[in-house]
Structure 1
Amino acid sequence: MSERTISIEKPWNWKKFLFQWEWLLVVIFVVIHIINSFISPYYLNVDTFLSGPMIFLDKAFIVLPMMLVIILGNIDISVGSIVAFASVMMAVLFNAGLPMPLAMVAALIIGTVCGAINSLLLIKFKELPAMIVTLATMTIYRGIAYVILEDRASGGFPSWFSFFAWGYIGPFPFILLVFIVAALVFGILLHKTALGRNIYGMGNNLTACKYSGVKTDRVLLIVGLLTGLMSAVCAIFLTSRMGSTRPNVALGYELDVIAMVVLGGISTSGGSGRIAGPLLAVFIIGFLNYGLGLINVSAQVILVILGLLLVFSVLVMNLRIHKGA
């Protein structure tokens, strides 16, 4: 009797490879740079590509955990408020006499606790959608920031604190290097660990995961902790860039972050997507805003352009799904 072998490896499909969503994002990325080069003759240089991301990379830290949240099939609209709350508390604690390094650690702890509260509410009240829960906590966290600082600004940070947003290590901005490390960690977490597989599984079929022995509550809690932690990291870099803070900082960050994740090809229904897409989307939207800012395009027009880009991306993704791409 002849032996039979079963291969689990899929045959190479060049058509499927070339029509991946990430390649379209690469094309959009190149087109944006071409357009920006016509807007400003000084745009295409090494300094632009290194210093430009310093303006928008702070919110990119939230894109990484938001990607996990949306793959789970959830959404978190409280991240901007967590940024504001953590930033305000860091400034208040520093001005109350706490050393700046400890104030930064306190901000990280506060952000992580806020993320944990979101997850614990979702675990305790499973009948409530994530949108409602995080809408409530969004209001609470920013409301606390307003109660603490009212409409005042707080700053007076030590001079070395500005290094986080504006400093360089060699020719590379510090914030860019930190983001690359964070992206690598989240990439490994999502694509190479059991936690990542569970996140995909829960996004596809939560009930099946529960009956398969997956500790779904623990996964939700871990993702919430990571979301709060990275929101606090964003708060530190944002505060460093501005040199002060107010309760109204990071307004609209949640919408920007969700837009980057969706443009990156992460399905809003959960269960699909890769980290490469959101990473490309971060730089697409960032450099789009950067280029339009060179010609003083108003924020409202930029929002319209971003909205059209998102509609286009959703339509193309739906076409790919229906065609089985």
Structure 2
Amino acid sequence: MEPRVVNQNEYVQRTLVNKEAFSLKKFFFQWEWLLILVFIVLMVINTNISPYFLSATGLRDATMIFLDKAFIVFPMVMIMILRDIDISVGSTVALSAVVMATLYNRLGVPMEMAIVICLMVGALCGLINGLLIVKFKELSAVIVTLGTMILYRGIAYVILEDQASGNFPEWFSFFGWGSVAGIPFILIVFTIFAIAFTLLLHKTTFGRQIYAMGNNDTASRFSGVQVDKVKVIVFVLAGLMAAITAIFLASRMGSTRPNVAMMYELDVIAMVALGGISTAGGKGRMIGAIIAVFIIGYLQYGLGLINIPSQTMLVIVGILLIVSVAIPKLNVGTKFKKTEKRKT
């Protein structure tokens, strides 16, 4: 057989395949399937402890109550993949809502413009967080956002003191309580943002940069990734989504105060951690956090039906947060022991 001669104008195209072979076992042994199992068990337990739980109307209306804080989950997933955290989101919600209500009630700004300014305030709060974190790299995100958490809520108290501000126009209540074709409006908006953020994280270059930075920030910087820019954008998204939460929360409550959204950061971080987002950075998927939103949301709804105190709910959410962080570490330890035994 004569050897093949390659001319200069001839190109040989090679295709590199780096995909792993599909494994059914590996597919079902994923964190998201465990979350689905937990959700099913939760629904069964809630159905047994309360005869009012398993109601189509009740389950639908419950989303109007717990989905407002869920908007912050999307950017928080990105922040935790980056190995950072933002504990100022609750204060950002409060400040954005207070500014919106004050502009409308005291200064006579049209409600539509007040909503736009509310979104701008939230984005500005996120921008300040991001800039402080990238400019003062010796400070952790926890310290920076702890400071801004106190600052933002303090400003909200300065503006409104300890008073409530409401008297919103009637159409504004549609955000919190309205429905379209029997589907809560907030659920529709949540679904749209869930799809958008999932595609952003998993199907774009921006999302791949976030994962790369979470695994190795220094290597990403030397690879040409604009690390500081990516971090600032992610924190701006967190502030913007906190402002959206402020709009839905104020609409649902009919008024706002400087002390609204207290402990929202606990619920949001618990949802993200329960969703399988690694606290070490670089791992996790958006779908897990979305499932965790409904687990914690319906858990709190079911406990509320049997009059469980809010303090007890905080304890349960805290336990969930600890367990969701600890379980992956136990898996890692088990794999390490197995590897050591094979070596010996």
Q: Shared fold by TM > 0.5?
A: yes
Aligned: 1:318 with 2:324: no
Decide which of 260, 266, 269 is 2:277's aligned counterpart. Answer: 266
Aligned: 1:54 with 2:64: yes
Q: How does 1:75-94 map to 2 (within 5 A)?
A: 75-94=85-104
- Structure 1 residue 24 displacement after superposition: 0.8
Per-residue deviation, residues 235-288 of structure 1 (Å, max 9, x unmatched): 000000100000000010011100110000000111000001110110000000
Aligned AA for 2:58? T
Per-residue deviation, residues 137-174 of structure 1 (Å, max 9, x unmatched): 11110000000110000011001111000000011000
8 A contact 1:39–1:294 mirrored in 2: no
Taking a change above 3 Å as real, the CA distance of residues 44 and 116 of structure 1, as seen in their structure-2 partners, is: same
Per-residue deviation, residues 7-49 of structure 1 (Å, max 9, x unmatched): 3120112221111001111011011111111122232232233
Aligned: 1:129 with 2:140: yes
CA distance in 2, matches of 1:312, 1:65: 22
8 A contact 2:53–2:305 mirrored in 1: no
Taking a change above 3 Å as real, the CA distance of residues 102 and 5 of structure 1, as seen in their structure-2 partners, is: closer
Aligned residues: 325
Decide which of 9, 27, 44 is 1:17's aligned counterpart. Answer: 27
CA distance in 1, matches of 2:207, 2:16: 27
CA distance in 1, matches of 2:16, 2:86: 43
Taking a change above 3 Å as real, the CA distance of residues 233 and 12 of structure 1, as seen in their structure-2 partners, is: same
* Residue in 2 that maps onto 1:200: 211
Taking a change above 3 Å as real, the CA distance of residues 214 and 5 of structure 1, as seen in their structure-2 partners, is: closer
DSSP 3-state at the match of 2:162: coil
* Residue in 1 that maps onto 2:108: 97
- Structure 1 residue 198 displacement after superposition: 0.4
| Structure 2: unaligned runs, 5 residues or longer | 5-11, 337-344
8 A contact 1:51–1:173 mirrored in 2: yes
Aligned AA for 1:184? I
Aligned AA for 1:64? F
* Residue in 1 that maps onto 2:299: 288
DSSP 3-state at the match of 1:49: helix
TM-score by length of 1: 0.97
8 A contact 1:88–1:149 mirrored in 2: yes
* Residue in 1 that maps onto 2:43: 33
CA distance in 1, matches of 2:16, 2:157: 63
Q: How does 1:151-300 map to 2 (within 5 A)?
A: 151-300=162-311
8 A contact 2:123–2:237 mirrored in 1: yes
TM-score by length of 2: 0.91
* Residue in 1 that maps onto 2:7: none
8 A contact 2:90–2:263 mirrored in 1: yes
CA distance in 2, matches of 1:63, 1:100: 26
8 A contact 1:264–1:279 mirrored in 2: yes
CA distance in 2, matches of 1:222, 1:287: 31
